[in-house]
Amino acid sequence: MLPIERIRLFLFDMDGTLYLGEQLYSFTRELLATIHAQGKTYMFMTNNSSKSVGDYIKKLARLGIEAEEGDFITSAQATAHYLLQNHPHEHFYVLGTCSLLNQLAEAGLDVTSEADDRITGIVAGYDTELTYRKLDDVSRMLSTKDLLYIATHPDTVCPTEYGFVPDCGAVCEMLYQATGKRPLVIGKPEPLMPQLAMLRAGVTADETVVVGDRIYTDIECGLRADAHTVLVFSGETTPADYEAAPRKPEVTMQDGGELLAMLRAL
Ligand SMILES: [Mg+2]
């Protein structure tokens, strides 16, 4: 049972949980409005590090949802937070989009997209601007130096309208084949994003619920953060996947409409 009366922070995965591609689910607007009307907080949590928060605000606006910067927790933000806390003085090469580079720079990190001798760390993200030159640079740096090596998230593929394209995890796998090095991973299923969200909202894990459609990323990161977890069957996970999963969420729902009904019943 989800102790809904205790929950103060709702952390939502987006695609498959609140919308599917460009189609908003029928309950989403009401669900978000009800959370705010009850004085609770929600944030959108995404592993995608190719887009900035501004891009997501535009996407949600297209779907009819008003959002602002503070409503988002992204793997890029969590990566910036982790690096500032643990490795603030490194000089990072960013294997990622201009957007990722800018976000890390704005957070106060010393970052570059040019391979140089002063590099002491590598940050790999979902690089939709990837070139072979970058792969060559990173392979050389990882092979010849002992560098700090971080990946914003582990996803091997990113969904598109026709199927999938290679994501951060697939590129890191390619680099592993070449160099034998694997990165430290920040995004889901690691608990850093929910932990950062709790810190920002000033709530405890017991007052937080992670809601998502992927059992091995959304639910797993909620479990590792000791938060409450709700798996929705409105996206990727089928009931058969659920049965086969080694670690289960606290609660399963057909979709977020059931969460809205729970809130209305309070
Ligand atoms: Mg999803």
CA distance 250 to 53: 29
Query: What is the predicted pLDDT for the residue at 193?
Result: 96
Ligand 1 mean position, distance from CA 94 (Å): 26
Nearest C-alpha neighbor of 47 from the set 74, 28, 67, 19 = 74
**So what's the pLDDT on residue 61?**
97
Roughly how many angstroms between the first and final C-alpha of the chain, as a whole number? 14
List, in order of start, the domains of the chain with CATH numbers.
Answer: 4-47+188-264 (3.40.50.1000), 77-185 (3.40.50.1000)
Distance in Å, CA 175 to ligand 1 centroid: 26
- Cα of 223 vs centre of ligand 1, distance in Å, is 16
Q: 40 C-alpha to center of ligand 1: Å?
A: 22
How many Å lie between the centroid of ligand 1 and the Cα of residue 14?
6
Strand pairing class (19-20; 23-24): antiparallel
Model pTM score: 0.89
Give burial (CB, 10 Å; 0-12/13-18/19+) of 254. Answer: exposed
How many residues are given for the chain?
Answer: 266
The strand ranges marked E within the chain are 9-12, 19-20, 23-24, 41-46, 72-74, 91-95, 110-112, 121-124, 148-151, 157-160, 163-166, 184-185, 208-212, 228-232, 251-253
How far is ligand 1, taken at its centre, from the CA of residue 46, in Å? Answer: 8
Find the 143 Cα to ligand 1 centroid distance in Å: 35
Tell me, in angstroms, the distance from the centre of ligand 1 to residue 163's CA: 15
C-beta of residue 75 within 8 angstroms of C-beta of residue 43: no
Report residue 142: phi and psi, to 5°: -65, -30
Q: Ligand 1: distance of its center to the CA of 15 in Å?
A: 4
47 Cα to the center of ligand 1, angstroms: 10
Reduce the DSSP state of residue 127 to 3 states and report it: coil
pLDDT tens digits along 164-186? 899 999 999 999 999 999 999 99
pLDDT at 1: 87
Cα(36) to centroid(ligand 1), Å: 22
Residue indicated by tokens 């102790």? 3
**What parts of the chain have a pLDDT lower than 70?**
none
Measure 172 CA to ligand 1 centroid, in angstroms.
21
pLDDT of 72 reads 96
Q: Give the pair of three-digit tokens for residue 12.
A: 């939502």
Can you read off the two tokens belonging to residue 44?
């959108």
CA of 65 to the centre of ligand 1 (A): 17
Q: Which residues contact 248 (CB under 8 A, 6 or more apart)?
A: 215, 219, 231, 242
Q: What are phi and psi of 17, to 5 degrees?
A: -115, -45
* Distance (Å) from CA 10 to ligand 1 centroid: 15
- Please work out, in degrees rounded to the nearest 5, the angle formed at the alpha carbon of residue 72 by the alpha carbons of 107 and 200: 70
Residue 133: per-residue pLDDT: 98
Residue 87: alpha-carbon gap to chain centroid: 21
